[in-house]
Amino acid sequence: LPRTTFRFAPLTTRVLFGAGTRSALPEEVRAAGITRALVLTTPHQAEMGASVAQGLGDLAAGQFTGAAMHTPVDVTETAISALRAARADGIVSVGGGSTIGLGKALAARTDLPQVVLPTTYAGSEMTPILGETENGLKTTRSGPEIQPETVIYDVELTRSLPVGMSVTSGINAIAHAVEALYATNGNPVMDALALEGIGALVSALPKFARTPDRMAAREEALYGAWLCGTCLGTVGMALHHKLCHTLGGSFGLPHAETHTVVLPHALAYNAPAVPEVIAALRPILGADPAAGLHALARDLGAPTSLRALGLPEEAIARATDLALQARYPNPRALKEDAIRATLTRAWAGESPI
Ligand code: NAD
């Protein structure tokens, strides 16, 4: 991509990647300076958390299994009490973006170190960003204390992620890389990671959608998710992420599914302004990359309309207003009519234009 001026100042996270790497957790926890770790999960993954805690032996100070979507502040406050009661001096998060979000919320308040074992492809583990909700409002903040110190990508922990969620979570990851390619503060390193990450996920998702236990395909997907998460943590996001943030935060739509529906339409909106990005995506996604993303989701049985996710048609106008409120860099000018038309196509499940 023709970038002629750029800055590159990544935050660093220590990364272990590979099947079985969770066996290195005790030494990684110690290396992060933790002597008593609180292990976090959602209620659904409590058993996985218990097995991780067991592997930690004396280094485990307890388990907190109440992580919830969109990091509600009241859950964080309960978890802070659990952290204090257990006299924990570090955090081990086992799960997707919801659990990792709780770990980040604790770190933001205590500056304790975090070791993360991701089990979805959402990418939060590689970012210094925390989104929290209080009284129905979602706010985002960012800081080096929020970025996890260590990430252990053990593909075996993703085996139980249902196929449908694997597909939408994988497309959520692709969305980070697509927007990195046209980020105004992007750089050639992130462009290369973005294309490699998108390529890995586009190759992997159809394979394990057919045979969910094919670990080689899950490994390829997790590798792609790591690269895409790195993009999300390093450069700024644009229209697509803004729309999804609004739809999730103000209308309660599910995170990964919303990304899956909106991405082809957001890319189609920006396409006229970034012909070089479209050209770079063609070898991976076909002659029309936005249509290619739409077909990928449809062929794998993922949702393709906001209507199917429960958004009422009347919400389109308010979602358009909200998405236009904050100013952020986007390759194509943000025009109310055009954004409303884009959201309307996404709502109805039409192909992107
Ligand atoms: P999630 O963490 O909410 O997980 C969804 C459900 O799947 C949960 O019940 C979870 O326990 C379960 N699950 C996860 N992994 C599993 C596995 N391997 N096997 C079985 N069940 C499993 O979903 P998500 O899409 O990973 O995360 C979404 C949240 O993360 C949103 O709140 C979003 O805003 C946030 N997020 C934040 C960032 C960031 O940088 N701050 C980045 C991406 C996502």
- Interval 275-302: pLDDT, tens: 999 999 999 999 999 999 999 999 999 9
Predicted local confidence at residue 137, as pLDDT? 77
Substitution candidate for ligand 1 out of 22, 40, 42, 48 with most atoms within 8 A of CB: 42
Strand order in the sheet with 14-17: 14-17, 150-153, 114-118, 90-95, 37-40, 60-64
Residues 168 and 116 in one domain: no
Residues 248 and 340 in one domain: yes
Q: Which ligand 1 atom sits closest to the C-alpha of 68?
A: 3
- Condensed to tens digits (0 to 9), the pLDDT of residues 21-60 reads 999 999 999 999 999 999 999 999 999 999 999 999 999 9
- The response to whether residue 98 sits with its C-beta less than 6 Å from ligand 1 reads yes
Q: Which ligand 1 atom sits closest to the C-alpha of 98?
A: 2
Residues 195 and 305 in one domain: yes
How many domains, the chain? Answer: 2
pTM > 0.95: yes or no = yes
- CATH code at 281? 1.20.1090.10
User: Is the residue at 266 inside a domain?
Assistant: yes
User: Is the residue at 9 inside a domain?
Assistant: no
d(CA 297, CA 265) in angstroms, rounded, equals 12
User: Is the residue at 303 inside a domain?
Assistant: yes
Predicted local confidence at residue 214, as pLDDT? 86
| Residue that is last in its domain, among 98, 123, 158 | 158
User: Is the residue at 5 inside a domain?
Assistant: no
Residues 232 and 337 in one domain: yes
Predicted local confidence at residue 216, as pLDDT? 93
Long-range contacts, 249-253 (Cβ 8 Å, 24+): 249/70, 249/131, 249/133, 249/137, 249/138, 250/136, 250/138, 250/318, 250/319, 250/322, 251/311, 251/315, 251/319, 253/306, 253/309, 253/310, 253/311
- The response to whether residue 166 sits with its C-beta less than 6 Å from ligand 1 reads no
Residues 314 and 167 in one domain: yes
User: What does the radius of gyration of the chain's CA atoms come to, in whole angstroms?
Assistant: 19
- The response to whether residue 161 sits with its C-beta less than 6 Å from ligand 1 reads yes
- The response to whether residue 241 sits with its C-beta less than 6 Å from ligand 1 reads no
In this prediction, does ipTM exceed 0.90? yes
Residues 289 and 342 in one domain: yes
Q: Tell me the pLDDT band of 319, cut-offs 50, 70 and 90.
A: very high
DSSP 350: P
Residues 78 and 184 in one domain: no
Residues 192 and 329 in one domain: yes
Residues 103 and 190 in one domain: no
Residues 149 and 170 in one domain: no
Burial level of 46, CB count in 10 A (0-12/13-18/19+)? middle
| Residue that is last in its domain, among 123, 141, 158 | 158
Predicted local confidence at residue 24, as pLDDT? 98
Q: Which ligand 1 atom sits closest to the C-alpha of 45?
A: 11
Residues 172 and 321 in one domain: yes
d(CA 238, CA 270) in angstroms, rounded, equals 10
- Condensed to tens digits (0 to 9), the pLDDT of residues 215-238 reads 999 999 999 999 999 999 999 999
Q: What tokens appear for 62 in the block?
A: 């307890």
User: Is the residue at 65 inside a domain?
Assistant: yes
- The response to whether residue 169 sits with its C-beta less than 6 Å from ligand 1 reads yes
User: Is the residue at 353 inside a domain?
Assistant: no
Residues 229 and 287 in one domain: yes
- The response to whether residue 163 sits with its C-beta less than 6 Å from ligand 1 reads no
- Condensed to tens digits (0 to 9), the pLDDT of residues 57-112 reads 999 999 999 999 989 999 999 999 999 999 999 999 999 999 999 999 999 999 99
* pLDDT at residue 209 is higher than 80: no
User: Could you tell me the residue range of the domain that residue 199 belongs to?
Assistant: 163-348
- The response to whether residue 120 sits with its C-beta less than 6 Å from ligand 1 reads yes
Averaged pLDDT score across all residues of the chain: 96
| Residue that is last in its domain, among 100, 131, 158 | 158
